[in-house]
């Protein structure tokens, strides 16, 4: 009933809110000059993955164990009718998933016709960095992940390593999941 009695006042409030939104919009235009990615934690190290390589983030689904595979291969899940191999990425890098299991997430990557889910300890959501902030000569923070990162950037609080899923799937050790290492069990894209 308040709005029925004061329509002019309501229109003024809407106009003022619109003017305020437009004035702050120029700050949002800075995002056009930024690099955006999905922030996550891998073995305690803050990472950021390109938006184009992570197609979805989901809770860890129920999965079926696959026998005679390496311990970091958790199994296969059915995600909306597609078979999704689930990998414990922290175990692959020699660590264990940290924290509460309810915080663990699966980053679904789809690169070069490979569809895979990698479990990480924590996902921080969308991260934005100035486009020129990534330094190719990153510090020793990423030696463990050297084959999968290309640079690092700081947000003033943490050093973020830029994770490249396309590099991960090119690693023979990652793609050859057979426990014997004979190459017989290679999980590929399941369309």
| Alpha-carbon torsion, ordered 104, 136, 129, 31, to 10 deg | -120
pTM (two decimals): 0.73
pLDDT digits (tens, 9 = 90+) for 80-108: 999 999 999 999 988 888 877 888 999 99
Asked whether the predicted pLDDT for residue 1 surpasses 50, the reply is no
Res 178: pLDDT: 87
pLDDT digits (tens, 9 = 90+) for 109-146: 998 888 999 999 999 999 998 878 877 755 555 577 88
Asked whether the predicted pLDDT for residue 17 surpasses 80, the reply is no
Domains contained in the chain, CATH given? 32-175 (2.40.50.180)
């Amino acid at each position: 009933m308040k709005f029925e009695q004061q329509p002019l006042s309501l229109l003024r409030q809407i106009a003022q809110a619109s003017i305020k939104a437009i004035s702050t919009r120029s700050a949002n235009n800075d995002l056009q000059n930024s690099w955006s990615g999905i922030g996550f934690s891998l073995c305690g190290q803050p990472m950021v993955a390109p938006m184009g390589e992570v197609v979805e983030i989901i809770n860890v689904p129920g999965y079926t164990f696959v026998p005679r595979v390496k311990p970091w291969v958790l199994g296969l899940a059915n995600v909306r009718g597609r078979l999704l191999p689930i990998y414990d990425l922290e175990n692959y890098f020699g660590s264990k998933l940290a924290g509460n299991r309810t915080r663990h997430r699966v980053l679904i990557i789809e690169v070069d016709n490979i569809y895979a889910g990698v479990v990480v300890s924590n996902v921080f959501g969308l991260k934005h960095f100035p486009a020129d902030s990534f330094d190719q000569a990153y510090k020793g923070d990423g030696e463990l992940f050297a084959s999968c990162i290309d640079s690092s950037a700081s947000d003033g609080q943490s050093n973020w390593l830029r994770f490249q899923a396309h590099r991960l799937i090119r690693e023979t050790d990652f793609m050859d999941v057979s426990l014997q290492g004979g190459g017989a069990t290679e999980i590929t894209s399941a369309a």
